[in-house]
């Protein structure tokens, strides 16, 4: 069982995140999914198919870390397993956000297959928890898009078990996943990624 007060706090953080991310244009047309940890075995996560700018408490439900609904008849996000594997790998992670911005979508389609997006030399890399200097490399893996979410969950689990320090990943032609200790950290990571994606796209435009 889970603590109802902790669920309410987690759900509120998801609802506010949705308002912000939809407002920035990063979660259009019911895309995206968000979650926040309640305890070591439970997370609050968005119900599948809901408008992310207009979330209410009925649009957030509880699942356990195997992805099974707890006290809810709703269907959790189709991508629930992409969230639960990260909570399993990282006991410190408190929130995960998946967004569908134009920049994440376009940039991921321009990157060569089999290579991560390497971000280097940007002062804004310090917006990521634990990064102290622009003289560091953030390797953002780009996974191929698939409708087989269990297979993708397994791939991401393997990659992040080997690269626990990296704060997110792209799915080609699809979007971004990022996480943080708190929802505030996680929102900062989304904003930082969006800034860096724009820088990369702009660099490609002026220096093809």
Ligand X SMILES: CSC[C@@H](O)[C@@H](O)C(=O)COP(=O)(O)O
For the annotated binding site for Zn(2+), the residues are 98, 100
Cα-based angle 113, 159, 84 (whole degrees, multiple of 5): 120
Tell the smallest beta-carbon distance from residue 115 to ligand X (Å): 23
> What residues between 97 and 116 interact with ligand X by CB under 6 A?
98, 100
Binding range to ligand X, per CB under 6 A, among 1-9, 16-24, 46-54, 122-130: 46-54
Gyration radius of the chain over CA positions:
16
Choose among 64, 17, 56: nearest CA to 182.
17
30 binds ligand X (CB under 6 A): yes
Decide whether 33 or 101 has the Cβ nearer to ligand X.
33
Helical (H) or strand (E) element with 176: strand 175-180
Decide whether 81 or 189 has the Cβ nearer to ligand X.
81
31 binds ligand X (CB under 6 A): yes
**Long-range pairs, 54-61, Cβ under 8 A, ≥24:** 54/18, 54/22, 55/14, 55/15, 55/18, 55/19, 56/15, 57/8, 57/11, 57/15, 59/15, 60/10, 60/11, 60/14, 60/15
Member of 17, 35, 59, 77 binding ligand X (CB under 6 A): 77
- Whole-angstrom Cα distance, residue 14 to residue 1? 20
Which residue's structure tokens are 């957030």? Answer: 60
Give the single-character DSSP code of 58. Answer: G
79 binds ligand X (CB under 6 A): yes
23 binds ligand X (CB under 6 A): no
Binding range to ligand X, per CB under 6 A, among 25-33, 129-137, 182-190, 194-202: 25-33
78 binds ligand X (CB under 6 A): yes
Member of 23, 25, 49, 56 binding ligand X (CB under 6 A): 49
Decide whether 30 or 88 has the Cβ nearer to ligand X.
30
* φ, ψ for residue 31, nearest 5 deg: -70, 170
Tell the smallest beta-carbon distance from residue 121 to ligand X (Å): 31
Number of residues in contact with ligand X, rule: CB under 6 A? 13
* Spatial CB neighbours of 150, under 8 Å, sequence gap ≥ 6: 81
145 binds ligand X (CB under 6 A): no
173 binds ligand X (CB under 6 A): no
For binding to ligand X (CB under 6 A), which residues are involved? Answer: 29-33, 46, 48-49, 77-79, 98, 100
């Amino acid at each position: 069982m889970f603590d109802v007060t902790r669920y309410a706090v987690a759900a509120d953080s998801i609802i506010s995140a949705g308002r912000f991310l939809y407002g920035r244009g990063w979660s259009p047309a019911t895309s995206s999914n968000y979650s926040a940890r309640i305890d070591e075995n439970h997370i609050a996560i968005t119900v599948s198919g809901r408008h992310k700018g207009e979330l209410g408490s009925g649009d957030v439900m509880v699942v356990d870390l195997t992805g099974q609904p707890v006290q809810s008849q709703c269907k959790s996000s189709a991508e629930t397993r992409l969230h639960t594997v990260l909570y399993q790998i990282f006991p410190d992670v408190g929130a995960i956000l998946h967004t569908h911005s134009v920049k994440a979508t376009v940039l991921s389609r321009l990157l060569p297959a089999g290579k991560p997006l390497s971000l280097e030399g940007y002062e804004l890399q310090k917006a990521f928890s634990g990064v102290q200097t622009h003289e560091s490399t953030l390797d953002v893996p780009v996974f191929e898009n698939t409708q087989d979410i269990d297979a993708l969950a397994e791939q991401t689990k393997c990659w992040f078990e080997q690269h626990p320090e990296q704060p997110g990943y792209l799915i080609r032609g699809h979007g971004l996943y990022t996480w943080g200790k708190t929802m505030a950290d996680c929102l900062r990571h989304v904003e930082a990624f969006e800034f860096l994606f724009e820088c990369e796209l702009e660099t490609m435009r002026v220096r093809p």
